[in-house]
Amino acid sequence: MEVIGTDIPGVFIIEPRVFKDSRGYFFESWSQREFDAMVRPVRFVQDNESCSSYGVVRGLHFQKGAFSQSKLVRVVEGTVLDIAVDIRRGSPTFGRHVAVELTGEDHRQLFIPRGFAHGFSVLSERAVFQYKCDNYYAPQAESAIAWDDPVLGIDWKLDPGDIILSDKDRKHPPLSGCPDLFDYRDDLYTDV
């Protein structure tokens, strides 16, 4: 696999080696050994999958405190714009985001470390989205920031009239009003 750094240290694009022939393709989507050596040691404990239609925006979600999660995300079918926002107070990149288009054809993945909010928008008719987490889902630790916070300046690549949100995602506070942010000085991986 090839690991590509982004404008925010710790957030990586991962491009697997894809082998194609007349039968189709094959690629290794996950290798603990390679990931630990090239990205960081992480022990993923839960895999999740969602299916969404064009215009759906999910995010910007995270789990707070001891329940924080790293995520390794990819698209199996369709196209999404994936977003990672640095929500670590005191970080040199606080409030900045990385936006990466992921498709079922290019097989790219995005690694989002702990201390980041995550979301995506669906740019194709339908998208099947999979992600690994290094901490179990904990409903009591759910938190989020507003997907449309103007301070973040995220271009979701959708016409505003096409955006579909859950009721919950319509109500999140802006970054400046979120009480659950992380501190850049804290080691968020002490339990790994």
Q: Is 3 exposed, middle or buried (0-12, 13-18, 19+ CB in 10 A)?
A: middle
Residue 72, strand partner residues? 111, 132
Q: Which sign, positive or negative, has the C-alpha torsion 31, 36, 37, 39?
A: positive
Q: Return the active site residues.
A: 61, 131
Q: Which of 24, 49, 26 is nearest to 127 (CA)?
A: 49
Q: Which of 119, 57, 46 is nearest to 82 (CA)?
A: 119
Half-sphere exposure of 105 (CA within 13 A, CB side): 4
How far apart are the C-alpha atoms of 182 and 48, rounded to whole Å?
Answer: 24
Reading the block at residue 90, the tokens are 């005191």
Mapped onto helix, strand or coil, the DSSP state of residue 53 is strand
Neighbours of 132 (CB within 10 A): 21
Reading the block at residue 59, the tokens are 């995010």
